[in-house]
Amino acid sequence: MSAIVLVVLIGGVIAAAGFVSLGVGVYNGLVQVRNNVEKAFQNIDVLLKQRHDELPKLIDTCRAYMKHEREVLEALTRLREHYEKSDSIDEKIGLENEINKKLSTITGRWEDYPELKASQNFLQIQGRVSELETKIADRREFFNDSVNIYNIQIERFPDMLLAKVLAYQRHAFLAVPQEDTRDVVMQFG
């Protein structure tokens, strides 16, 4: 075997090893970001389920006072039940975003029901839900950061080539309820 053939053969082996190494690195990176999104969602899902467990109590308490809000309360109940049956992270995110919108509708109307706000049972449940909302907000930020990193990773070259082969799809963000993004109006005496 001549020296030129040996050099070409060694060069080919080194190039192949480089491509395999690149492929393994890209694959491992994609697996890592996918698993980070799943882990972040599992962390937030625990709190969402706790909040969903509190919702029937809150809805029952509100139902007695808020007769005009019946459709919103029933929609919340349906969304909660659908969430419990869902297996897909993206479907759960969509449902949770809808639940947040409906909750915002109700919380914006509590002011219209002074007897509801005076109910000890309502205040206790509302306090528990508010506490869970604070924890959810913290984990929502971590989840959305993980989703952003994942979405960027599957769109970067050369990662996007392998991501397409593996059918990786963009994930949706967990939305912040619109009422949380409005400016606070301060009124003094």
pLDDT digits (tens), the chain, 189 positions: 688 888 888 899 999 999 999 989 999 999 999 999 999 999 888 888 888 888 777 777 776 666 666 777 788 888 888 888 888 888 888 888 888 888 777 776 666 666 666 667 777 777 888 888 888 888 888 999 999 999 999 999 999 999 999 999 999 888 876 555 444 443 433
- Over its C-alpha atoms, the chain yields an Rg (Å, rounded) of 25
SS (H, E, C) 44-107: HHHHHHHHHHHHHHHHHHHHHHCHHHHHHHHHHHHHHHHHHHCCCHHHHHHHHHHHHHHHHHHH
Query: Would you state the pLDDT for residue 131?
Result: 84
Query: Would you state the pLDDT for residue 179?
Result: 53
| HSE-up (13 A, CA, CB side) for residue 91 | 10
Domains, the chain, in order of start with CATH, read 3-171 (1.20.1440.20)
Query: Would you state the pLDDT for residue 81?
Result: 87
Amino acid at 8: V
Rounded Cα distance between 89 and 127, Å, is: 28
Using alpha carbons, select from 112, 104, 111, 109 the residue that is nearest to residue 129. Answer: 104
Q: Which residues of 36-46 are buried (b: 16+ CB within 10 A; e: fewer)?
A: bbeebbeebbe
Q: What is the pTM of this model?
A: 0.67
Query: Would you state the pLDDT for residue 110?
Result: 67
